[in-house]
């Protein structure tokens, strides 16, 4: 019978068998007390994490995705349809919509429509905002709070997997990295799919790992359930259907011959895992359009539509082929959502990196983004883990006698599954143990399962260079990295333990020579310092975690020089602008160019648009309407004195319609508000809205740089009168 947890079999040598299950020596009351405190430390970290998420969810305004995600979730419950926001799967929306439905929001489905490639959620969400404003802020907060459990699950799994691989201290370290990561704090407080996807991805990988170690039908079913749940967050995880069989093959190939189970039985269980996952995926959509034939779809992406005839907007390259009649085991809107996303990536869209705009993206975009948006303390921990992994000096963590007793009690409480081998909890909690305390082949296989999903997601997303906007697409890589990094808190042995010396086989080399005790203490002090640095750096900028950038680029104040869009500005700081205006009543009238889904008037902010730069293609003079006769006299284009505020995305020319202060939305070109970069902001709302107080001299200085006519003391054509060169201006009605 095979023992899959320790990599041994019944015909292994007695020394091997005894060493795999031999209990650790009693390390004293200090270890016992540490074990007893472990649940309290776990609960404390998770409670702190939940509180941080809840506060961040309450103080930030809706981002550009959330109203559309929320109204789509409401449509799933009320209408039983899944067309809205089909580019992502529905589990997060369904969860977020539950407390909102209990609050009885107003709904308006006038703009609901469906056609190949359509995105009706944008128009439907605007009607939803208008019907519920200004209550929209509270409804989004409720939806966000409903999604906090996803992040708590992710944190717990980081703890549990790291503890089972490396020990209790690494488990708490992995949990701390998750709980205080600025990227997790940012997205875990939103009702979008990124943090939930990361959490359920690590759940799916952990369930697979458990099945690989303790193969059985129950473990296979649980692995299938977890795989199906992660499919209901983002279509990115479709790659796991191909990755899981590959990981299984590599796991078998790298196993000791005596530790390999029956290939037919394991293959049948793996097939069951994939089958359960498909069932869960289709169940999440209510089996809407499941098993629709491939030839019956209307696709819009070139790779699936093929050549589209003149006057048509969709097609199907498989129609008329032998594949046309093949039923797809996926929900219809899941497939159509993938097709719509493929259209965006294949046609190429403008992307921004380090001040450069270009059509399409960069293969290194996500690597660069990770380098500057992950705390430097975390990167230092990664370097320590990599160095000690290569040196092979870190040993499996020692457990206390109290922990051993607790694990034995688990063994007594657990039953065996049909036809399965019973593996003790002590063996399960020390998967890397081997005679002499050295690294086992099993530990390398464990790391294969741990790191494979992160590598696969990073490679897949980086290969899609049609456009680059969102570092959040690689958020699922983080929990796996946190678990692997936590190895630096394993025990570092300085000499052979009593168990190692007793179980060492004759003629077998002893442990590698270890560094001096003082050096080991310095290593651990450096690891603790790096963890503290990482946490402090994140909390220093909290609750503005979405805009976090590390010290390498000057923090979030300089982040926009490197990345924009959801990496720094998602429309989340409107309420912080309102708070600043309440504290500065002199900042009136306000000219605001706000990137976000909610009209600032619903937050109590009255504004007008700042004058924009003239557009060479239309010869305009700064007017935002093609009906100048219906408007009051407009100011000349370019910088003007007065109070101004502008979102980072708007300044850098991200093409999103912005509220004009009169109940409409107007388009923005790349050159409209770039002139604000020539001024130094006097304040910031969060780190995504810059606030300016521009004097006449400052305005004219920049106007000269852009070869625009200078303004007189009384600005021409705008009814504005500037008093001297001080920072006071008055705009007459």
**pLDDT interval class at 237 (50, 70, 90):** very high
Q: How far apart are CA 278 and CA 291, in angstroms?
A: 11
Of the listed ranges 29-43, 392-406, 476-490, 610-624, the least confidently predicted one is 392-406
Mean pLDDT (whole number) for 507-525: 68
**pLDDT interval class at 9 (50, 70, 90):** very low
Alpha-helical segments (H) within 167-297: 168-180, 182-188, 194-213, 217-231, 240-253, 263-284
Instruction: Tell me: pLDDT of 458 over 60.
Output: yes
Q: How far apart are CA 352 and CA 674, in angstroms?
A: 14
Instruction: Tell me: pLDDT of 69 over 70.
Output: yes
Rounded (5°) CA angle 642-647-651: 80
Are the C-beta atoms of 61 and 686 separated by less than 8 Å? no
* Residue (of 481, 604, 558) closest to 184 by Cα position: 481
Rounded (10°) CA dihedral 76, 282, 292, 74: 0
pLDDT of the residue at 208: 98
Of the listed ranges 71-85, 100-114, 251-265, 504-518, the least confidently predicted one is 504-518
Mean pLDDT (whole number) for 388-394: 69
Residue with the bigger pLDDT between 721 and 593: it is 593
Place of tokens 């504290």: 583
Q: How far apart are CA 691 and CA 674, in angstroms?
A: 14
Domain ranges in the chain are 2-54+149-291+374-503, 60-146, 573-731
DSSP string for 363-432: TTHHHHHHHHHS-HHHHHHHHHHHHHHHHT-B-PPPPPHHHHHHHHHHHHHPPPPTTPPP--HHHHH-TT
pLDDT of the residue at 513: 53
Instruction: Tell me: pLDDT of 4 over 90.
Output: no
Locate 421 and state its tokens: 């081998």
Of the listed ranges 194-208, 276-290, 478-492, the least confidently predicted one is 478-492
pLDDT single digits (tens) 315-353 = 999 999 999 999 999 999 999 999 999 998 888 889 999
Residue with the bigger pLDDT between 424 and 514: it is 514
Mean pLDDT (whole number) for 634-638: 67
Of the listed ranges 153-167, 215-229, 245-259, 667-681, the least confidently predicted one is 245-259
Are the C-beta atoms of 230 and 237 separated by less than 8 Å? yes
Q: How far apart are CA 335 and CA 324, in angstroms?
A: 15
Instruction: Tell me: pLDDT of 300 over 50.
Output: yes
Locate 472 and state its tokens: 């959040």
The pTM of the full predicted model, rounded to 2 decimals, is 0.85
pLDDT single digits (tens) 545-566 = 999 999 999 999 999 999 999 9
Alpha-helical segments (H) within 494-548: 498-503, 517-541
- Would you tell me how many other CB atoms lie within 10 Å of the CB of residue 613? 18
Q: How far apart are CA 234 and CA 288, in angstroms?
A: 17
305 pairs with which residues across the strands?
none
pLDDT of the residue at 296: 95
**pLDDT interval class at 96 (50, 70, 90):** very high
Q: How far apart are CA 416 and CA 339, in angstroms?
A: 45
pLDDT of the residue at 731: 27
Mean pLDDT (whole number) for 566-570: 97
CA dihedral over 23, 164, 218, 270, signed as positive or negative: negative
Are the C-beta atoms of 194 and 243 separated by less than 8 Å? no
Q: How far apart are CA 331 and CA 334, in angstroms?
A: 5
* Residue (of 128, 223, 234, 226) closest to 187 by Cα position: 234
Q: How far apart are CA 708 and CA 695, in angstroms?
A: 16
pLDDT single digits (tens) 675-696 = 999 999 999 999 999 999 999 9
pLDDT of the residue at 724: 33
* Residue (of 236, 467, 473) closest to 334 by Cα position: 236
Instruction: Tell me: pLDDT of 290 over 60.
Output: yes
Q: How far apart are CA 312 and CA 300, in angstroms?
A: 10
Is the bond into 233 cis (omega within 30 degrees of 0)? Answer: no
**Ranked by mean pLDDT, which of 135-139, 254-258, 488-492 comes out on top?**
135-139
593 pairs with which residues across the strands?
646
pLDDT of the residue at 441: 56
């Amino acid at each position: 019978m095979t023992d899959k947890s320790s990599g041994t079999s019944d015909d292994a040598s007695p020394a091997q068998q005894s060493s795999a299950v031999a209990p650790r020596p009693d390390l004293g009351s200090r270890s016992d007390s540490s074990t007893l405190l472990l649940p309290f430390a776990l609960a404390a970290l998770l409670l702190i994490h939940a509180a941080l998420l809840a506060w961040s969810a309450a103080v930030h305004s809706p981002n550009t995705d959330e109203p559309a995600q929320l109204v789509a979730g409401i449509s799933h419950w009320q209408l039983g349809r899944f067309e809205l926001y089909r580019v992502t799967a529905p589990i997060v929306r369904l969860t977020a919509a539950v407390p909102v439905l209990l609050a009885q929001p107003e709904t308006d489905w006038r703009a609901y429509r469906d056609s190949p490639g359509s995105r009706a959620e944008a128009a439907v969400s605007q009607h939803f905002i208008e019907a519920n404003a200004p209550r929209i802020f509270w409804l989004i907060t409720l939806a966000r709070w409903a999604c906090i459990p996803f992040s708590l699950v992710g944190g717990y799994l980081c703890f549990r997997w790291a503890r089972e691989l490396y020990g209790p201290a690494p488990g708490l370290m992995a949990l701390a990295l998750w709980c205080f990561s600025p990227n997790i704090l940012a997205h875990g407080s939103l009702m979008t799919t990124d943090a939930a996807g990361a959490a359920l991805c690590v759940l799916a990988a952990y369930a697979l790992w458990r099945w690989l170690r303790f193969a059985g039908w129950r473990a296979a079913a649980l692995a299938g359930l977890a795989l199906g749940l992660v499919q209901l967050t983002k279509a990115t995880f479709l790659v796991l259907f191909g990755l899981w069989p590959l990981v299984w093959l590599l796991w078998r190939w790298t196993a000791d011959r005596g530790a390999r189970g029956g290939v037919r039985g394991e293959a049948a269980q793996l097939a069951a895992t994939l089958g359960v996952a498909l069932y869960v995926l289709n169940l999440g959509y209510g089996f809407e359009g499941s098993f629709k034939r491939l030839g019956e779809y209307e696709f819009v992406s070139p790779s699936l539509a093929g050549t589209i005839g003149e006057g048509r907007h969709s097609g199907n390259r498989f129609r008329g082929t032998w594949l046309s009649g093949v039923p797809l085991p996926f929900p219809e809107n899941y497939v159509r959502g993938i097709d719509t996303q493929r259209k965006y990536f294949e046609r190429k869209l403008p992307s921004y990196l380090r001040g450069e705009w270009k059509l399409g993206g960069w293969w290194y975009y996500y690597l660069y983004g990770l380098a500057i948006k992950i705390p430097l303390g975390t990167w230092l921990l990664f370097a320590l883990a990599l160095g000690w992994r290569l040196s092979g000096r870190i040993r499996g963590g020692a457990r206390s006698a109290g922990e051993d007793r607790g694990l034995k009690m688990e063994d007594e409480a657990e039953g065996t599954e049909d036809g399965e081998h019973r593996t003790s909890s002590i063996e399960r909690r020390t998967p890397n143990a081997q005679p002499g305390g050295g690294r086992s082949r099993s530990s390398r296989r464990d790391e294969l399962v741990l790191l494979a999903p992160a590598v696969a997601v990073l490679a897949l997303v980086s290969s899609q260079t049609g456009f680059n906007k969102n570092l959040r697409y690689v958020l699922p890589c983080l929990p796996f990295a946190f678990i692997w990094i936590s190895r630096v808190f394993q025990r570092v042995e300085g000499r052979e333990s009593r168990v190692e010396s007793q179980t060492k086989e004759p003629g077998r080399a002893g442990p590698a020579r270890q560094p001096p005790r003082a050096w080991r203490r310095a290593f651990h002090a450096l690891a603790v310092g790096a963890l503290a640095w990482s946490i402090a750096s994140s909390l220093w900028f909290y609750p503005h975690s979405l805009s976090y950038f590390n010290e390498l680029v000057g923090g979030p104040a300089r982040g926009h020089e490197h990345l924009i869009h959801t990496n720094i500005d998602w429309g989340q700081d409107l309420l912080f602008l309102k708070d600043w205006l309440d504290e500065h009543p002199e900042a009136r009238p306000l000219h605001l160019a706000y990137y976000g889904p909610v009209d600032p008037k619903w937050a109590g902010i009255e504004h007008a648009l700042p004058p924009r730069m003239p557009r060479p293609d239309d010869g305009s003079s700064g007017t935002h309407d093609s009906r100048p006769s219906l408007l009051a006299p407009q100011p000349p284009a370019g910088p003007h004195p007065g109070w101004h505020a502008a979102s980072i995305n708007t300044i850098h020319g991200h093409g999103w319609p912005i509220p004009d202060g009169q109940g409409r939305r107007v388009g923005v070109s790349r050159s409209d508000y770039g002139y604000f970069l020539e001024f130094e902001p006097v304040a910031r709302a969060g780190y995504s809205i810059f606030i300016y107080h521009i004097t006449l001299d400052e305005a004219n200085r920049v106007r000269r740089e852009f070869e625009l006519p200078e303004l007189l003391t009384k600005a021409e054509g705008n009814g504005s009168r500037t008093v001297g060169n001080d920072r006071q201006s008055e705009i007459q009605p």
